[in-house]
Every structure is written in structure tokens, then in C-alpha cells.
Chains A and B, each alone.
Chain A
């Protein structure tokens, strides 16, 4: 029974996301507004009913220091609101909001993630995440790092190029039922393998399709959650861990930080019906499946995942939303949403959810 739950148990009570636009011609704020207005309308609450708001975004993606400040326009801040911001995927905003509500004095929080990737070339921006002295000046971007990781995975005998292609084929097919995906379609492994290498052994289609988009969700403490929805999706745990930024000190073929986060949330304590994984390079799905101990019984990336539409800075939050939506609809009971940051899965976050009373 829900009332057996702790009063500080937190549930997702509403979700919203935009299409993963190839290019959205209006301001990022309008994408955020679309999500925020939907959340409030669906939950039938006022802006002032939200006690804490937090956003995730990346100034550099907009090419403008302090770009995050204008995003407040999309979330509402008059009368003044209690809000904060992380320069990370919105999933890490959820981490803060989940903790904040457990203090017990606030009942409802809103989490937003947003970004427009269309104005820039991701490779020419995100190499700046690398070590500023010994890696960034090489322009070594996350796609190149992914190519190195994919080769290591193949060399270790943990995957083949065909396995990687199968991830893409399955994701594209799954996307047909995802109204927010940027692309979908039927393609065979052989067709994919016939394409030329891009960052060998990865091919262009192995890399996520960047998008302009936003996503948002509402969470609430137990009693308020039960007022706001008949289908609360309980967050039973959030944990995130990071690995060394020195690639030479990591085993690129195994996501150690994901294993730690999984232990932290008690992932293995029950079956996982769905897993939505922040896969920006197809081979990552194989590494993550292994680290999470997923079996064939788990539906992985039923949305198609980021490979079919990657609204950078909202992507991890969107994974959590895709799981929550399905649990709320009764399609699954227990699921995990995963978010990642940094090249070659350096940092990983898990949000474990379950439905039911």
C-alpha cells in the first residue's frame, strides 16, 4: 500500500518532453515552456505549487556564457521562486531535487533539461570536456574516445561489429513507435556494416543524432504524489559515480561506475522490466547491459534511445521519463533510467523506479 511507504518516498507524478528536433528555429526557452506548461496543466497545479525547481543545461552548447540565465524565462520565476541549476544533464538536477524533497519541508519539485545542439558541431565543442593540458589541445572529442572504447571492447572479445550494428538496427526499429524520435526505420545489420567507418570501428550511424529539445518532470512526496496522480512512479533510488578522467587508468571495456551505482540503488534486488540507457555510441549499450546485469527479459531502450534523437542536456532526463511513462501506463513494474556524462561513459547515474501502490 502506498501509505505503507515512508512519507518522504518520492514519486514521479508527471512527465513532458518535446520532439527531438533536427533544428528548432525558435528560442530554447519556448521548448522549455512547452514542457513546463504541459506538466502544470496535466497535474492541474499552479506554478506556485512547485516548491523547488532545478534545470540542467550547458552554456557552451549555446556558445554563450550565462546562457542558462535566459532559460529561467521558460520555467517561470515571477513571483520569485526557489530554483537552482546544474551545468549537467537534467538527470543530475533530478538527483538534487530528489534529495531536497527528502528534507520533508517541500512537497513538489520540477526538473528540467534542455539544449539546442543544432548551432554547433558537437565534436568541435565537447573535446573541451577533456583534460585541458594533455588531451583537449588534441581536439580529442567524445566520438573519437568512443571509437577507442569500441575497439577495446572488440579486442577484449566482448563484442563484434555485428553486435554493435544490431543495437542500431533494433533502436531504429523501436523508434517507429516513439513520436519524439528524430528518425526511425527498418535497416539490417548487413546494410549498416556496409557503411564506411567514421571513427573506426564505429560508423556514422553508431553515433547518436543530436537534437534540439527539452524535457521535464514533476516529483512529489508520498501524500502529495497520491493527490496528483493515480499512477505514481516511485523513485526507489538514485546513485551516480564517476571514473578517472585518465583513460589509461580505466578499463574502458567495463563500466565500473555503473556497477557501483547499481549496487547503490539495489538494482539487483528485483527484476528489471525496462532499462532506458543514455547510449550516445551504439557499443555503449553492450557495456551497460553487462554492468547492469540485464537479461533478455529486460526491454532495453524501447524508445529507440538517444541513437534516434539526442537532445543533449535533456537526454539522461528523457531516459528516466521514458521509463516512468511506461511504468505509469502499466506496461512495466520496475525499471531503470540511466544517464551518462563525459567521454566513454566516464560518469554514470541510475534512477531506479517502480510502479504500483
Chain B
């Protein structure tokens, strides 16, 4: 077992990501369409022009319609700015650049955008900047605010190529990802190392003796954190306490396509249930609450997606669950362990 002790468990590196599609409505739609097609629009509200355009009058909340859209820019003056020395992966440039408040000619308010000035020395409050109808990093122009960027000076922009067939931008897309990087929590590390040794480790509460598996590292009922001293091994077999058959819904990132059973199992020796146990090789007609199951371990265990959630057993470790052949347990006896 020594070689397993030294095995490095990966840190968690997970990106919560989705390609959002936003409907744009009667004001933002024309604004983004304009950016794509070579115009910057603001809204006339009372005696001033607000850019980016708004759907309402900021003074009283009354609705402002698209008939109030007017063209502004493409040049303007910088009224405020910062120099981004180290761009993030979400910024519109990979080289240092300025974010600026730009008052476009014809507008009475400033718009936030990015200026590709080359150097902080080229930035000053009051300087003139002008739009370029190009994506800052040369990517496709899709009808978003990054279809344009600004550069110092007044040289008028070239008109972008307009696709005569293109629809107005009724929907704008934004791929949003948030990256989470953290080590596995100590109790999770011990749990996963246990699985590598074909052992299921739970934790027994020092307060009431109840065994939690998989443990979350604490006993919530008694508000007590748990430590390695509370680790206990539970059996590799147990009782089905609840189940359903899932017909997978397709969504971004989903890899399941065929129906499968998902059940909860109360392992012998445990007081809490393991949920999210997936069974793919027992027909639902032969499955029931009270069924006795046992894990068949995988020989090679390679954690593809470890996490800190106290839920589930991770499919990486078992080849399948099999019926032990023992008589079913009366569902009445497990009704308080179904989740």
C-alpha cells in the first residue's frame, strides 16, 4: 500500500461554463446590431443623449422607445481611464490596454470601453479616441460589445463588411466561465485514498456516534467538525433506499444519453446514505427499494473529476454494483434513509 500513500490526488480544477444566449430587446438589439454594422447608437432622453442607450428614462423610470435612438461618435473624448497592466483572460486584449470612459461626439454621457493605446504614456484625460469596427483580438464579430474597440486619434474607421442577409441582433451570446481551483479538503483526500485501497471511509460523530458517508467533514446536527480520528471504515455492501430511472436531458456538458437507474444506498455500518449511485446493468423491472447490493471494484482507479462535495461515490472507483443475493430489506426499515 505504500505506493498508494504517496499517490498524488489531483487538485480540483473545474470551470463552471455556459454559452449564454441573451435576447436583446428593442434598444440593446439595435445597439449591438449597430456595433456589428458600423454605427454607435445612443438614446435621446429629454434634453440629453445617453450612450450606451437605455430602455428607460433614468430620471423617472418611464419607458423610452427605439424611436429615440440616435447615432453618436465614432470619435469621442476620454473623460476617465485606467491602465490595465496585466490583462485577465476575460479582458478584450492580451497586451496592456486602457479601460476608459469615453464621451462620444453627440452623446452627453460616457460609455465604458477599451482603448488599445500601446502604452500608458499614450493615455491622458481629455484625449481623443475613435472606434474601430473590429474585434480587438481579431475574432469574429458576432453582435456583441467586443465587436469594436477604440484607438487614439481621429482617423475615421473603415466601414465593416456588412452581410446583407444578416438579421438584426435579436440574441447576443456570451460564453461565461468561472474557474475554481482548490485542493481536495483533508477528509476528501482520505476518503478518495480509501477508495483507491478499496475501502469506504466514513466519519463517526464524536457527539452522537452516527456514521456519515461520504462525510462532509463535520456533523451538522451537532455542529461539530470531524477529524481523522473520527474516520471509520464501512462495508462495501448495503441496501437500496430509494431510486428512479433517469432519461437523460441533454444540456451543455451532458455526456449521458441512455436511461440509467440512480439510487441511494445505505451501506452497512453507515447512518447516512450515499446518493447518486448509478446502476446501468440491472433492469428497472428487477430493481426495488430494499435490494441488497455490493460494489465490484475497478482494478485501475484514476480520478477524473474529484470534488469536495459530500455527495455520491464517484463512478471512477467501481466497475458496477451487483446484487448480493440476500433477501430484500423491508422498505419500512429504510424509509428514513432515502436521501
**Structural contact, B220 and A252, CB atoms closer than 8 A:** no
A30 in contact with B82 given A119-B181, A132-B22 (CB within 8 Å):
no
List 22 contacting pairs A-B, 8 Å CB cutoff, sorted by A: A26-B185, A26-B217, A27-B218, A36-B223, A63-B180, A64-B16, A72-B220, A124-B88, A124-B179, A131-B52, A133-B32, A133-B145, A135-B112, A138-B92, A139-B88, A148-B99, A151-B80, A152-B80, A196-B85, A198-B85, A200-B83, A246-B58
Is A295's beta carbon under 8 Å from chain B?
A: no
Interface residues of B in 265-281 (CB under 8 A from A): none
Structural contact, A138 and B81, CB atoms closer than 8 A: no
| Chain A positions 191-223 with a Cβ under 8 Å from a chain B Cβ | 196-202
A248 and B50 in contact, given A147-B83, A148-B80 (Cβ under 8 angstroms): yes
B216 CB contact (under 8 Å) in A29, A134, A249: A29
Q: Given the known A-B contacts A134-B52, A135-B145, A138-B114, are A120 and B218 also in contact in the complex, defined by CB atoms under 8 Å? A: no
- Number of residues of chain B lying within 8 A (CB) of chain A: 61
What is the chain B residue whose CB lies nearest that of A141?
Answer: B88
Q: Does B54 contact A (CB under 8 A)?
A: yes
Chain B residues within 8 Å of A247, by CB? 101, 110, 112
From known contacts A73-B218, A124-B89, A247-B101, infer whether A138 and B112 are also in contact, taking CB-CB under 8 Å: yes
Q: Does B178 contact A (CB under 8 A)?
A: yes
Task: Find out whether the CB atom of A200 lies under 8 angstroms from the CB atom of B82.
Answer: yes
Of A77, A155, A196, the residue contacting B125 (CB under 8 A) is: A155
Contact A198 B50 (CB under 8 A): no
Cα A137 to Cα B177 in complex, Å, equals 12
Complex interface: chain B residues within 8 A of A118 (CB): 182
- The verdict on B111 contacting chain A, using a C-beta distance below 8 Å, is yes
A25 with B85, Cβ < 8 A, contacts A64-B16, A134-B52 known: no
A147 in contact with B99 (CB, 8 Å): yes
> Which residues of B have CB within 8 Å of A252?
80
The verdict on A78 contacting chain B, using a C-beta distance below 8 Å, is: yes
Does B221 make an interface contact (CB < 8 A)?
yes
* A120–B223 CB distance below 8 A: no
Nearest Cβ on chain A to B321's Cβ, whole angstroms: 26
B174 near A200 with CB under 8 A, answer no
Chain B nearest CB from A232 CB (Å) reads 25
B112 to chain A, nearest CB (A): 6
A116 to B80, CA, bound (A): 33
- Is B145 a contact of A134 with CB atoms below 8 Å? yes
How would residues 1 to 23 of chain B score, 1 for a CB under 8 Å from any chain A CB and 0 otherwise? 00000000000101010000010
Q: Which residues of B contact A72 (CB under 8 A)?
A: 220
Closest to B54 in A: A246
Most A CB atoms within 10 A — which of B31, B81, B99? B99
List B contacts of A299 (CB < 8 A): none
Q: Nearest A residue to B187 by beta-carbon distance?
A: A26
Q: Report the contact-size class of chain A (Cβ under 8 Å from the partner).
A: 35 or more
B63 touches A (CB below 8 Å): no
Residues from chain A with Cβ under 8 Å of B217 in the complex? 26-27, 29-30
8 A Cβ contacts from A120-171 to B? 120-121, 123-125, 127-128, 131-141, 144-152, 155
| The one of A76, A124, A155 that contacts B223, using a Cβ cutoff of 8 Å | A76
Asked if B338 is at the interface (CB within 8 A of a chain A CB), the reply is no
Interface contact A248-B99, CB-CB below 8 Å? no
Partner of A128, one of B22, B58, B176: B176
Cβ of B314 under 8 Å from chain A: no
Contact present for B90 and A151 (CB under 8 Å): no
> Does B308 count as interface, using CB distance less than 8 angstroms?
yes
Chain B: minimal CB distance from A95 (Å): 23
Cα distance, A124 to B182, chains bound together (Å): 16
Quick check: is B288 within 8 A (CB to CB) of the other chain?
A: no
A150 to B101 Cα, complex, angstroms? 13
| B84 beta carbon closer than 8 Å to chain A | yes
- Tell me whether A74 is interfacial, beta carbon within 8 Å: yes
Minimum CB distance partner of A64 in chain B:
B16
Sample of 19 more A-B contacts, CB < 8 Å, known A120-B180, A124-B88, A246-B54: A25-B183, A25-B185, A25-B186, A33-B218, A62-B180, A116-B182, A120-B179, A125-B178, A133-B22, A134-B28, A136-B174, A137-B144, A197-B83, A200-B120, A244-B58, A246-B109, A248-B103, A249-B58, A252-B80
**B190 at the A/B interface (Cβ < 8 Å)?**
no
Partner of B85, one of A119, A127, A197: A197
CA distance A149 to B112 in the complex (A): 12
A249-293 near B? 1/0 per residue, CB < 8 Å: 100100000000000000000000000000000000000000000
Question: What 0/1 pattern do residues 231 to 270 of B give for CB contact below 8 A with A?
Answer: 0000000000000000000000000000000000000000
Picked from A121, A151, A196, the residue with its CB within 8 Å of the CB of B88 is A121
Decide yes or no whether B337 CB sits under 8 A from chain A.
no
- CB neighbours (8 Å) of A74 from chain B are 218, 220, 223
Q: Does A37 contact B (CB under 8 A)?
A: yes
Residues B9-50 near A (CB distance < 8 A) = 12, 14, 16, 22, 24, 28, 31-32, 50
Residues from chain A with a CB closer than 8 A to the CB of B16 are: 63-65
Contacts of A124 in B (CB 8 A): 88-90, 178-179
> How many angstroms between the C-alpha atoms of A77 and B222 in the bound complex?
10
Query: Which chain A residue lies CB-closest to B176?
Result: A128
The one of B22, B32, B90, B180 that contacts A123, using a Cβ cutoff of 8 Å: B90
CB < 8 Å: which of B111, B120, B179 contacts A197?
Answer: B120
Q: List the B residue with the shortest CB-CB distance to A202.
A: B82
Report the nearest A residue to B172, measured CB to CB.
Answer: A133
Cα distance A135–B174 when bound, in Å?
A: 12
CA distance A44 to B114 in the complex (A): 56
Closest A residue by C-beta to B216: A27
> Roughly how many angstroms separate A134 CA and B58 CA in the complex, as a whole number?
17
Neighbouring B residues of A149 by C-beta, 8 Å: 80
Contact A30 to B120, CB < 8 A, known contacts A123-B90, A127-B90, A137-B174: no
- Asked if A63 and B178 sit within 8 Å, CB to CB, the answer is yes
Within 8 A of B (CB), among A173-205: 196-202
Q: Does B72 contact A (CB under 8 A)?
A: no
> How far does the alpha carbon of A202 sit from the alpha carbon of B99 in the complex, in Å?
13
Alpha-carbon distance between A127 and B114 when the two chains are bound, in angstroms: 14
Inter-chain CA distance A202–B185, complex, in Å, is 35
